[in-house]
Chain A
Amino acid sequence: MSGKDTGDKPGSPDQPPASPGKPPVKKKVKIRKSGKWVDVDVDGEVRKGRFKYVKFVDDDGLETYWISPE
Chain B
Amino acid sequence: MPFSTAVKRYNTYGTAPWVATPPTYCQNSTSASDYGKCYYIIFGKAIFVQTDTTTWPIDPTTGDSFPCAKDGTCTRYTSTANARTLTTIFDYPGKQAILQYFWSRSHSSLRSPGNIVYLIGVPVPYSEPAYLWLFPAVNYEVSSWPVYDPVGNWKAYLNPYAISVGYVNILRWQGNVFTSSATLAVYENNQNNIWYAFDTTVVYAYESSPLAVIPLDYDREWLPYQELRKAFGYADTGVDQPGWNADDIIRVLKELFPNRAWAVFDDRQHVLYLYNLTPDYVPDWLVEKLVPTSMKVLKPPANATVAKAWLDLLNERNAQTPAPVELP
Residues of A within 8 A of B (CB): 46, 48-51, 53, 58, 60, 62-67
Excluding A62-B296, A64-B297, A67-B293, 12 further A-B contacts by CB distance (< 8 Å) are A49-B284, A49-B287, A49-B288, A58-B296, A63-B297, A64-B294, A64-B296, A65-B294, A65-B297, A66-B294, A67-B292, A67-B294
Q: Which residues of A contact B294 (CB under 8 A)?
A: 53, 64-67
* Residues on A with beta carbons closer than 8 Å to the beta carbon of B298: 62
Is B252 close to A, CB under 8 A? no
Chain A contacts for B279, CB-based, 8 A: 46, 48, 53, 65
- Is A62 a contact of B282 with CB atoms below 8 Å? no
Give the CA-CA distance A66 to B269 in the complex, in Å. 12
Chain A interface mostly = strand
Enumerate chain A residues within 8 angstroms of B292, measured Cβ to Cβ.
67
Query: Closest CB of chain B to A11's CB: distance in Å?
Result: 20
Q: Identify the closest chain A residue to B292 (Cβ).
A: A67
Chain B residues within an 8 Å CB radius of A67: 292-294
Contact call A62/B287, Cβ cutoff below 8 A: no
Could you tell me the distance between the alpha carbons of A46 and B280 in the complex, rounded to whole angstroms?
9
Chain B interface SS verdict (over half): mixed
**With a CB–CB cut-off of 8 A, which chain B residues contact A64?**
294-297
Residue in B282, B287, B288, B295 whose Cβ sees the most chain A Cβ within 10 Å: B295
Chain B interface residue number, banded: 10 to 19
Q: Shortest Cβ distance from A44 into chain B, in angstroms?
A: 11
> A70 → chain B, closest Cβ, in Å?
13
Nearest B residue (CB) for A58: B296
Q: Which residue of A lies closest to B285 (CB)?
A: A49
For the complex, give the distance between the alpha carbons of A53 and B293 in Å: 10
Residue of B nearest to A65 (CB): B295
Nearest B residue to A31, CB-CB: B294
For the complex formed, measure the closest distance between the CB of B253 and the CB atoms of chain A, giving whole angstroms.
16
Q: Whose C-beta in chain A lies nearest to the C-beta of B273?
A: A62
Q: In this assembly, does B291 line the interface, its C-beta being within 8 Å of a C-beta of chain A?
A: yes
In the bound assembly, the distance between CA atoms of A61 and B1 in angstroms comes to 33
Report how far A46 CA is from B294 CA in the complex, Å: 12
B302 → A minimal CB distance (Å): 15
Which B residues are in CB contact (< 8 Å) with A62? 296-298
Q: How far is the CB of A33 from chain B (nearest CB, A)?
A: 9
Chain B positions 290 through 313: 1 when the CB is less than 8 Å from some CB of chain A, otherwise 0: 011111111010000000000000
- Inter-chain CA distance A65–B297, complex, in Å, is 8
Residues in B whose Cβ lies below 8 Å from that of A53: 279, 294-295
Closest beta carbon of chain A to B177's beta carbon, Å: 33
Q: Are B287 and A51 in contact (CB under 8 A)?
A: yes
Bound Cα distance A7, B292 (Å): 22
A46 closest partner in B (C-beta):
B279
Separation in Å of the B157 CB from the closest CB of chain A?
Answer: 33
Which residues in B have their C-beta under 8 angstroms from that of A48?
Answer: 279, 282, 284, 287
* Nearest CB of B to A30, in Å: 15
